[in-house]
Amino acid sequence: MTAFVRAWLLGVTAAALVLALAETLAPEGGAKKACRLAGGMALLLAAMGPVAGVLDGSALTRAVDGWRNRAQRYEEELEERNERLYLAIIEEETAAYVMDKARQLGFECAAEVTCGYDEEGVPCPWEVSARGAWTQRQREELERLLEEELGVPAQRQHYEEIRP
């Protein structure tokens, strides 16, 4: 980039020097006006020529495509992060719900929930693991609640009983 700016400045400076010299040497009258007009056009070309060369259609198209691709990748990464955060929130909230239901049934447990997707692609609780001390009746009631209220069938419910 520095080399481009340096070349551009040198080109504009050289054109300005040539313009000043030509204008000084031109005779008064119409020739001097024509020299000024031609020199102004030459100075304009010297100033805009390198910029036009850098901004040719294909280079500009490649730059825009590059920015578009980068923006698309960032958007996909953001969507993926949001999806992971969304699933983590569902898992945490559902685990808290399972532990609350266990308390209502009269026992304490630690719960871990893993999310999956239903047939329509909607995230939902998929698997539940619980650790704690419970009676057979309490466990059966929790299994029934999780199946009815969360849609997690008994085969995807895992229990580890801890005896005091």
Written as one letter, the residue type at 15 is A
Instruction: From 79, 111, 118, 117, select the one nearest 97 (Cα to Cα).
Output: 111
Which CATH number, 1.10.357.10, 2.60.120.1440, 3.30.300.30, 1.10.287.470, labels domain 86-161? Answer: 3.30.300.30
Model pLDDT for residues 127-164, shown as the tens digit of each residue: 999 999 999 999 999 999 999 999 999 999 999 998 76
Query: Average pLDDT in the 11-27 region?
Result: 78
What rounded mean pLDDT belongs to the chain? 86
Model pLDDT for residues 92-120, shown as the tens digit of each residue: 999 999 999 999 999 999 999 999 998 99
Give the pLDDT score at 52.
Answer: 64
- Report how far residue 15's alpha carbon sits from residue 46's, in angstroms, rounded to the nearest whole number: 7
Give the pLDDT score at 101.
Answer: 95
- Report how far residue 36's alpha carbon sits from residue 33's, in angstroms, rounded to the nearest whole number: 5
**Is the pTM above the cut of 0.85?**
no
CA atoms within 13 A on the CB side of 16: 7
Instruction: From 112, 120, 93, select the one nearest 157 (Cα to Cα).
Output: 112
Instruction: From 142, 118, 107, select the one nearest 128 (Cα to Cα).
Output: 142
Beta strands in the chain (DSSP E): 109-117, 123-132, 157-161
Model pLDDT for residues 39-79, shown as the tens digit of each residue: 788 777 777 776 666 555 677 678 778 888 999 999 999 99
